[in-house]
Amino acid sequence: MNILVTGSEGQLGRALRRASAASSDRYFFTDVAGDDTLRLDITDAEAVEGFIREHGIGVVVNCAAYTNVDRAEDDAARAELLNATAVGYLANAMQKSGGVLIHISTDYVFGGDPYNTPCREEQKGTPTGVYGVTKLQGEEAVRASGCRHLIFRTAWLYSEDGANFVKTMLRLTEEKEELKVVFDQAGTPTYAGDLAGAIFGIVERRLFEGREGTYHYSNEGVCSWYDFTKAIAEYAGHRRCDIQPCHSDEFPSKVKRPSYSVLDKTKFRTTFGLEIPYWRDSLEKCIANIVKKR
């Protein structure tokens, strides 16, 4: 089978590239840049349809997105183009080809209501900013297209690649003697290697057949950004930095972030029969890989 991975220069795309090395399927990795990456502008409907037709793509894994939450507030048109309009182009192309679209969404589709239990797939989306609104619009475009699809909502993604919270906190806890981190936002970190492995397993074993729908995937467990940072410093051996909890309003933002966006993974586990690692175990593994690369 021929498989297209869009946004392949991002964290999840790179993790999928590594996971796919053992596959007998043929993978095409595209983005708008990258030395060893094919160029595909997913905001061009004709280009998308032509690429899928020319290469006989059976599955598209869409990792492309506008993910800068604060900047999206001032760049709403671009965020909507990437997170909603382009997703619709991919979905429509797959509907015509009869293939499957695996689309990556986010916990930011929630957040407007005061939740205190893990969010389930059927729960109404209540996004609080442009990023969440446009990602929810992308999901709606996939469903409206009528294409065969799997939507995976994830959260707090990090990896050994690119810029992310883990790498930022590794630097700050090494450089600073004191650091304040918010404790009133709770969720679950997701190691990109785990999510990529889950998607790869589903594609390899063709588990998408007859299982179309929306699913949640993050690592298991719950923590605040403060807890997350404490664990990062612990595994990196950065004991000099005094990490203190603080409230979100001490770090003013253009958008209100979800105060509780823990994702319920029951549907994913029961449908696909795949284990989901605990967040601290995956974090320890990722940090060991980062340290090894230094």
- pTM for this entry: 0.96
Q: Residue 265: what pLDDT?
A: 98
Q: What is the pLDDT of residues 146-189, one digit of tens each?
A: 999 999 999 999 999 999 999 999 999 999 999 999 999 999 99
Cα(159)–Cα(28) distance, integer angstroms: 21
Cα(142)–Cα(148) distance, integer angstroms: 9
- The fraction of the chain above a pLDDT of 90, given in percent, is 90
| Residues in contact with 211: Cβ distance below 8 Å, sequence separation at least 6, in sequence order | 150, 271, 272
| Residues in contact with 65: Cβ distance below 8 Å, sequence separation at least 6, in sequence order | 7, 10, 82, 83, 104, 135
Coil/strand/helix, residue 20: helix
CA atoms 193, 148, 274, 153: torsion sign: positive
Selected catalytic residue, list 27, 131, 191, 235? 131
Question: Does residue 131 carry a catalytic annotation?
Answer: yes
Angle among Cα 145, 192, 228 to the nearest 5 degrees reads: 120
Coil/strand/helix, residue 27: strand
Burial label for 45, CB within 10 Å (0-12, 13-18, 19+), is: middle
Alpha-helical segments (H) within the chain: 11-19, 45-54, 69-72, 76-80, 86-97, 130-145, 165-175, 192-204, 225-236, 266-272, 279-293
Q: Residue 5: what pLDDT?
A: 98
- Per-residue pLDDT tens listing for the chain (294 residues): 999 999 999 999 999 999 999 899 999 999 977 767 899 999 999 999 999 999 999 999 999 999 999 999 999 999 999 999 999 999 999 999 999 999 999 999 998 877 789 999 999 999 989 999 999 999 999 999 999 999 999 999 999 999 999 999 999 999 999 999 999 999 999 999 999 999 999 999 999 999 999 999 999 999 999 999 999 999 999 999 999 999 999 988 888 888 999 999 999 999 999 999 999 999 999 999 999 887
Please, how many CA atoms are within 13 Å of residue 253, restricted to the half-sphere of its CB? 18
> CATH top-level class for 2-163+188-221+261-278?
alpha beta
Q: Residue 31: what pLDDT?
A: 92
Q: Are 4 and 16 in contact (CB under 8 A)?
A: no
Domain residue ranges of the chain, discontinuous segments joined by +: 2-163+188-221+261-278
